[in-house]
Chain A
Amino acid sequence: MPDLLIELFSEEIPARMQARAREDLKKLVTDGLVEAGLTYASAGAFSTPRRLALSVDGLTDASKAVKEERKGPRTDAPEKALEGFLRSTGLSKDQLEVRDEKKGQVYFAVVEKPGRPAAEIVAEVLETTIRNFPWPKSMRWGSGTLRWVRPLHSILCILTDEAGAQVVPLEVDGIQSGDSTCGHRFMAPDAFSVTNFDDYAAKLRRAKVMLDPAEREAAIAQEAANLAFARGWEIVEDKGLLTEVAGLVEWPVPLMGAIEERFLALPPEVLQTSMKEHQKFFSARNPKTGRIEGYVTVANIEAADDGQMILAGNQRVLAARLSDGLFFWENDLREAKAGMSDWAEGLKSVTFHNKLGSQADRVARIAALAREIAPLVGADPDQAARAAQLSKLDLRSDMVGEFPELQGVMGRYYALAAGEPEAVADAARDHYSPLGPSDDVPSAPVSVAVALADKIDTLTGFWAIDEKPTGSKDPFALRRAALGVIRLVLGSGGRWHMRDSLWAHIMHQKGVLFWFAEHLDEQGAIVDKENGDENEGRSLAQVILSAVDSGSISERTGVEALSAMEQRLDADNVQEREKIERARASIGQASDLLSFLHDRLKVYLRDQGIRHDIIDAVLAQPGNDDLVLVVNRATALNDMLKTEDGQNLTQGLKRASNILAQAEEKDGVEYSFGADPKFAETEEERALFAALDTAEPAIKAAVASEDFPAAMSAIAALRAPIDAFFDAVQVNTDNQIVRRNRLNLLSRIRAAGREIADFTKVEG
């Protein structure tokens, strides 16, 4: 049972690629070994900036001999079939066996593959692995043709058993395998040979290389914490940075320094970002002041002066960086205090998307939207609009120019400097949230309004220009924006029928909203003219709100209005016709966007444990553009369906629907009313009549007040009577009057169900 040790020694491997490379090395080699007939007990992969290593324990000495049989054509088959078979097996005709089968004589190829020694297999597998390694980016060097992440210098490959270590001979592009490697680039550069994994790891350690990245991470975290503790500070945790730094050093030597007093006025986010992005420093916080006051840099060497020179150098670079930062900060604060009008002006020249105008255009749209949404989520409309106007200004600041990841964070500081209220400043920071599915969702009303407006503007904009996500392509992160909308709406509990609003905004994105509103005005559909202004003077929100409120902008009235306009037009009015087409296209785009939101909602709710069929059943109900309503309904339905009553009730409702559907299909009529208890023949029928008489108003009332749990228990009360009815009664009897009456009774059941959901969509 030999053990295998592999090391691929190269020039510095990018830190971000190391974790994946370890996994790939392990998988490719062990899969290859297993496929070739070897087995192993365990395997572990390691990396440093200069090496990828793999240790495989308990490998079998050799693969087993195998006998493979393949059935070929019949002996009387055409010559061509035999030729093909010989070609595919690599045998000649006299090597084939002929066996008697039921249908006649058949050729068989029997190939015996002898077992192969592990070394031979390892050499083959490793060469294939090296030549096909899936680096995200690879390169050639010198005059060679091999590709690797950076120049590959040596290959260590040994098999070790009781008798000792054996080099597995292989050669890749002129690099001969061996049993030796080198230590730390500066502290122990000499080559040494190793006999097994333990020997390898121990000798590396002596040569100032910590092989295991997890150990390096732990060492860095521990030492950084100790250094911080000694000064009464604490390290700001940053797992990503820790992994990256551990991938930049073979022998981590953390060193701690203090940030000069003159830089402590910088916001902590700026200090942290600058130190992390430019210098890969960890930030140290003083818990007494709450400020970032120090840093830890991780060197790759034990210098004779205990790193004093290294630290001094780093300190110098940091000072230069932070001087820039301070310069940006002071400049930006001056602009902020002056009202940020230069920045607002600057947004006009920043293109958001060439079909969707500038950032300034976008800000205007978001402000109008935020104002519209504000009352729905309990925010002050003026504050929401103001926050939206401020929300992108920091994109023009020097600081965000230098550190784009500080967008929003800086916006908050500058808004405060400009004397804006906290709620407005917070919204300038938080309106980008949530970004990822695990990000916190803002809860402050003004933040929610602006965050929603920001995302809805993005969605309606890209829908208006037909740039929807397809398959895995989602360059504008629209799925993320949609999930953000869902989480914001649900988190705020804001009640909002968004369908018409989405349509209005898509029309606005396509430049036809004001035009449309004006036409409706002419028809007297919008009465809100109290300001007496021209349309330019009216805010987008006013137009949208008045249109939505008056019902002028809804799919049905919209389509009618557009048709009416079209009929009044002169045949040659191309411009107007084109606008009508744009407005009409918006309708389809709005429903499409709503379905997209529904799809994301399904994914979201599925993660919350609500089945997709339940959501489908609920989405089939009217009012499905009010996401809070949809979720309340779905949750109540989901809860009910977990009970036995719920399960059986569903069966009963579906059975009623099916029988009705068949009968309606056959008779060509819809059974919808007129069931009369006087035609009831059985006790069960009468009981069902009575139960429905009680349940129907209860369900209606509960649904009207959106008390879905109450609606569910009201309908669940029908379970026993429905079951009893189906047990006792044959719906399709010969007596047509009785049959019709029963079908009409079933339609009452169907109608009761439909108050709540489309039960035909519920599975099981």
Chain B
Amino acid sequence: MTSPSSHEKPRCFQDVILRLQNHWAKSGCAILQPYDMEVGAGTFHPATTLRSLGPRPWAAAYVQPSRRPTDGRYGENPNRLQHYYQYQVIIKPSPPDLQELYLDSLRAIGLDPMAHDVRFVEDDWESPTLGAWGLGWEVWCDGMEVSQFTYFQQVAGYDCHPVSGELTYGLERLAMYVLGVEHVMDMPFNDPDSPIPLTYGDIFMQAEREYSRWNFDIADTDMLFQHFKDAEAECERIVSASEADGAGRNILMAQPAYDQAIKASHLFNLLDARGVISVTERADYIRRVRALTKKCADLFMQTPLGQAAE
């Protein structure tokens, strides 16, 4: 049961996050922390990409800062940011009551489905760089998309068995709606009655301006191209390293290899924002990142985590 206080509306951004954390903790998820690398979406976190592979049960929830360089608007657009937060839930096998658990999470942040119009509208998900796809919906609340709800069918080319259920909330947009805020930068981040009240803009406005400029105009593209190649090469090198470490240990290194794939993916996004990748090249870069992800997944499947628990 939710506590009486939670029926009151959240008053700030972090309250929305905390309530989601509580809800999914109570629902049995391990509450993880963000992955410490630049990613475009919560799905890239190894807790989703890698852990959705193989037979082992899994349940995790976490906030993931996400970077989409092309979405930068110098902090001026009320809804668009190059850096924002996603809330990600991943449960394998997907429980039969996942929709109900999800609706409870909306109730927890003050969206009562009896007073709002909550709808599951067809939206199939596909990630070309991860070689992944799934079926599900975008969830609408009063005509606004508040979450993605996906049953993973394939990741890195592997059929998912069991199937993971994945939920992704765009936190800023959701919180703005719950809090009735028109511009993201005006949103209270902590309690507005705190001794030092902070808005989203207090924390991120300057960063949005700086990163927008860097993403679009300044980032050294030669260096980024080189880094892309480096990440690609390092990934290949890790994947092809022998299992024996010379001291009698046998260790395959799927996760360090996957870090390099993440890096390559983000470098590609930066290059894309700089406008130096042509339409035809685009497809090729995506293919190269997908090839890396695939190799990492192949390796992960050979590690203990990719196999049934003993």
Contact = CB atoms under 8 A, between A and B. Distances in A.
Interface of A: 11-12, 14-16, 49, 137-143, 149-151, 153, 185-187, 248-249, 279, 297, 299-301, 303-305, 307, 309-310, 312-314, 316-318, 320, 351, 354
A41 B116 CA distance: 43
A310 B142 contact: yes
Contacts of B114: 186-187, 301, 303-304
A248 B119 CA distance: 8
B115 A305 contact: yes
A639 to B, nearest CB: 52
Q: Which of B78, B95, B142, B165 is packed against the most chain A CB atoms within 10 Å? A: B142
Contacts of B118: 186, 300
B135 A299 contact: no
Given A11-B120, A248-B119, A142 B162 contact: yes
Contacts of A11: 99, 120
B124 A12 contact: no
Contacts of A149: 135
B143 interface: yes
Given A16-B122, A279-B143, A313-B141, A140 B163 contact: yes
A185 B100 CA distance: 10
29 contacts: A11-B99, A11-B120, A12-B137, A15-B122, A49-B120, A140-B151, A140-B161, A143-B161, A143-B162, A143-B163, A149-B135, A150-B135, A150-B136, A151-B94, A151-B151, A186-B114, A248-B121, A279-B143, A297-B143, A300-B119, A301-B114, A303-B114, A309-B116, A313-B144, A314-B117, A316-B177, A317-B142, A318-B143, A320-B79
B93 A142 contact: yes
B113 interface: yes
B174 to A, nearest CB: 12
B3 to A, nearest CB: 22
B143 A141 contact: no
A302 B115 CA distance: 8
A736 to B, nearest CB: 76
Contacts of B94: 141-142, 151
A633 B94 CA distance: 68
B165 to A, nearest CB: 8
Given A151-B151, A313-B177, A317-B144, A139 B135 contact: yes
Given A49-B120, A304-B114, 11 more contacts: A141-B165, A142-B93, A142-B95, A143-B162, A149-B135, A150-B135, A151-B94, A303-B114, A303-B117, A310-B115, A310-B142
Contact of A309 (B93, B137, B142): B142
B153 interface: yes
B279 interface: yes
Q: Which of B78, B119, B161 is packed against the most chain A CB atoms within 10 Å? A: B119
B42 interface: no
Interface of B: 78-79, 93-96, 99, 113-122, 124, 134-137, 141-144, 151, 153, 160-163, 165, 177, 279-280
A187 B119 CA distance: 13
- Interface majority SS on A: helix, strand, loop or mixed? loop
B96 A153 contact: yes
Contacts of A354: 280
A299 B115 contact: no
Contacts of B113: 185-186, 301
Contacts of A186: 113-114, 118
A301 B143 CA distance: 13
A313 B163 contact: no
B71 to A, nearest CB: 14
Given A142-B94, A142-B95, A151-B151, A303 B116 contact: yes
A139 B151 contact: yes
A12 B117 contact: no
Given A14-B122, A303-B114, A140 B153 contact: yes
Contacts of B165: 141
Contacts of A314: 117, 142-143
Contacts of A279: 143
Top 9 nearest A-B pairs (CB, nearest first) are A313-B142, A14-B122, A12-B120, A314-B143, A299-B117, A143-B162, A139-B135, A142-B93, A143-B93
Nearest to A50: B120
A309 B115 contact: yes
Contacts of B151: 139-141, 150-151
A303 B95 CA distance: 29
B120 A139 contact: no
B143 A304 contact: no
A354 B121 CA distance: 36
Contacts of A14: 122
Contacts of B137: 12
Nearest to A187: B114
A16 B119 CA distance: 15
Given A11-B99, A151-B96, A301-B113, A313 B143 contact: yes
A310 B121 contact: no
A310 B120 contact: no
A138 B141 CA distance: 25
A141 B159 CA distance: 12
Contacts of B160: 140
A359 to B, nearest CB: 12
Contacts of A303: 114-117
Contacts of B93: 141-143
Contacts of A310: 115-117, 142
Contacts of A150: 135-136, 151
Contact of B124 (A137, A249, A299): A137
A151 B163 CA distance: 11
A307 B142 CA distance: 10
B96 A142 contact: yes
A351 to B, nearest CB: 7
Contacts of A320: 78-79
Given A314-B143, A318-B143, A351 B279 contact: yes
Contacts of B141: 313
Nearest to A149: B135
A150 B124 CA distance: 11
Nearest to B122: A14
Contacts of A304: 114-115
Contacts of A351: 279-280
A70 to B, nearest CB: 43
A626 to B, nearest CB: 41
Given A142-B95, A143-B162, A313 B116 contact: yes
B260 to A, nearest CB: 31
Contacts of B95: 142
Contacts of A297: 143
A240 to B, nearest CB: 15
A279 B143 CA distance: 6
A9 to B, nearest CB: 12
Contacts of B142: 309-310, 312-314, 316-317
A110 to B, nearest CB: 48
A419 B134 CA distance: 49
B145 to A, nearest CB: 9
Q: Which of A16, A141, A248, A318 is packed against the most chain B CB atoms within 10 Å? A: A141
Given A305-B115, A310-B116, A313-B177, A142 B144 contact: no
A143 B137 CA distance: 20
A114 B119 CA distance: 50
A140 B151 CA distance: 8
Contacts of A137: 124, 135
A529 B124 CA distance: 60
